[in-house]
Structure 1
């Protein structure tokens, strides 16, 4: 009988994600401090909002004095995908308690969602405790990283000169490349090509109505989801024959 993965296994599985969060979180802290935010304000954003792209968007829109209502709506729309991701989690963990479901949905991110889908598709015996471990590890790393970046941010008064404000997009590009590399080894060529073409088309369309930063995020997320959906039936059939 296979051993079920528990909380600590989830924390260990989240280490690669956490390593990525260190640079992105530090970048956010540096950019926020450069925009005049204090250390405690950075802490509140990371603890209460906990949305990488949403946090970058918020400080960027605040810098140009955008209305609070517009900022709120923008962040809501950008993060609306989390509702869909949480619904997917309910299908993978259908018997969890309401308290567990709220905790899982609250701390879920694109990266932890991607890790959950990939592990589930490959038949790894993950549990709700494992997923909570992934989320908690990612959450704590993000908070610590943003605070570290904020603490040293005064040493870099103009982070945009070094491309630090592009760190979030760079992380998503890296995730897409790693996902495609994994798919090439395990999936049919048609699925890989579908993901590539879909991502390119989505990027082109999104780039017409939004900035290149947001377009890359949208294309990466949707492209990864398309790949997960196309590969799931095969994995399900395989699991059913065991």
Structure 2
């Protein structure tokens, strides 16, 4: 009988993500400190918002004195994809308590969802405690890294010249490559290509008449719907 993964196994599975978070979190802390954010402000952002892209956006928009309402709306649009990812996670772990589901969704990130997607694609014996281990390890590492970065950020007055503001983009690209590779091995490459193509087309068309943030949201929602329909069993699609 295959041994089911436990919380400690989730912590170990999150080590690659945590290593990435150390560099990206430190980069965020440095960038935030350069924009006059205090260590305590960075700590609060990491604890209560816990969104790499969202935190970078807050720093960038506050630097140009954007209205709070606009910042809030932008963060909502950019992070709406997490709602879709959390829904997917509940389908993978349908038998869990409401509190467990809320905790899982609250701490879900692109990176931890990537770990979940790869493990699920490889049919590993993952469990709810395993997923919580992935999330908690990633969460604590992010908090530590951002605070450490903010603490030394005053020593680097112009972090953009080192390309630190592109650290998050680099990690997203790496995560995408690893996820596609894992799913390719399970014969889902055509599904990936179809969803990717639909998402790109939707983004390009929407970007003509709306902002890039709205275009990302529309492309994400439509791409997710297409992926859900194509990956559903044939009898559920009425065929």
Report the counterpart of residue 59 of structure 1 in structure 2: 59
| Secondary structure, aligned partner of 2:157 | coil
Distance 1:219 1:168 in 2: 22
Q: How large is the Cα RMSD of the aligned pairs?
A: 2.9
CA distance 1:140–1:16, shift in 2 (3 Å): same
- Listed one character per residue, the Cα deviations across residues 16-73 of structure 1 (whole Å, up to 9, x for unaligned) are 1111111111110010000000111111100111011110111111111111111111
- Listed one character per residue, the Cα deviations across residues 162-181 of structure 1 (whole Å, up to 9, x for unaligned) are 11111111111111222233
Distance 1:41 1:219 in 2: 32
Report the counterpart of residue 174 of structure 2 in structure 1: 174
Distance 1:223 1:173 in 2: 21
Report the counterpart of residue 236 of structure 2 in structure 1: none
Kept in 2: contact 1:112–1:135 (CA 8 A): yes
1:225 positional shift:
5.9
Distance 1:112 1:25 in 2: 15
Unmatched tracts of structure 1, length 5 or more: 235-242
Distance 2:3 2:46 in 1: 34
Report the counterpart of residue 27 of structure 1 in structure 2: 27
**Aligned pairs for 1:1-242 within 5 A:** 1-187=1-187, 190-191=190-191, 193-194=193-194, 197-198=197-198, 200-201=200-201, 204-205=204-205, 208=208, 209-210=210-211
Report the counterpart of residue 237 of structure 2 in structure 1: none
1:10 positional shift:
0.4
Distance 1:221 1:134 in 2: 24
| Secondary structure, aligned partner of 2:86 | helix
Kept in 1: contact 2:61–2:71 (CA 8 A): yes
| Secondary structure, aligned partner of 1:66 | coil
